[in-house]
Structure 1
């Protein structure tokens, strides 16, 4: 069976896997930097000064960054464990879902990190504005625009 690119299902799967890997090569370093930053934060002297709210935001952000890391690396683990088992289509479906979930966790972790730093530096009023603006920006840039482009074809 062929498609508009005149490629077989196998060739299409190979191309889709290559595209997915390229996307993950962009996302994973960002998650790694954020996660490393978050792991170092509690060992700083000023961390003892954080409020209960900041501590809660920090912990939620840390967990979101860890979840994002796991979800974005999941395609690699799945591929390695199913290597040569004719699982490309299954891998692509699972990898697509895990990548979307990983990017969602990443966006929430980045919003959380922004909220944490803003609250620590400027207080709750600025935090509400910056947190809301960050959430809106992610929603528009990572959700609305791609879904609109998808709908328009």
Structure 2
């Protein structure tokens, strides 16, 4: 039931049933995850091909281990980002859309974190090989991971807190 201000109980500013809200959120999630799924799958495919290049055999053990870890991270990221589709296939028609949205949100978050780690690890491997300077490779990879952390985690939290504070101020007036 809508509140007097026109907002629903969740405070979204929409007048929708829980099922309508779940349907909307699910559609939004699918749109968001499509880009990540494609990127993760392409990156994973490229990573798989690296082991079959002539230069791979001459890599130092550290780089081979880093490659192994990167491939595993890529597999986890791809699996987590594709998992909501599998969940939907198995749960569709069972009236579980709100639960699906909740679980899919967690899977997508896991996929994004592991995708960021995959990209940072792949960048580290590439820069160690391309520059021959391990320190530069570590610094640049750490900077990229810091950027992902800032853009994907910190900035949304800052916006959320500012919005919540502004809404509290407006409510107190």
TM-score past 0.5 threshold: yes
2:39 to 15, 24, 30: 30
The answer for unaligned runs of 5 or more in structure 1 is none
| Structure 1, 124-133 or 79-88: larger mean CA deviation | 124-133
Aligned 1:111-150 pairs, distance under 5 A: 111-122=120-131, 123-150=133-160
CA distance in 2, matches of 1:43, 1:77: 31
| Structure 1, 110-119 or 126-135: larger mean CA deviation | 126-135
Name the one with the larger helix percent.
Answer: 1
The reply on whether 1:61 has 2:70 as its aligned counterpart is yes
CA distance in 2, matches of 1:56, 1:41: 13
The reply on whether 1:106 has 2:115 as its aligned counterpart is yes
Query: Is the partner of 1:7 in helix, strand or coil?
Result: coil
Segments ≥4 residues shifted beyond 4 Å: none
When Rg is computed on C-alpha atoms for both structures, the one with the higher figure is 2
The alignment's C-alpha RMSD in Å is 1.0
Following superposition, the deviation at residue 140 of structure 1 comes to: 0.9
Determine the structure 1 residue equivalent to 2:86: 77
Give a deviation string over 1:12-43, Cα, whole Å, max 9, x none.
Answer: 11100000000111111100110000010000
Q: How many residues are matched?
A: 153
CA distance in 2, matches of 1:72, 1:132: 23
Following superposition, the deviation at residue 57 of structure 1 comes to: 1.1
TM-score under structure 2 length normalisation: 0.85
Following superposition, the deviation at residue 150 of structure 1 comes to: 1.6
Alpha carbons 2:128, 2:137 under 8 Å: kept = yes
CA distance in 1, matches of 2:138, 2:91: 45
TM-score under structure 1 length normalisation: 0.96
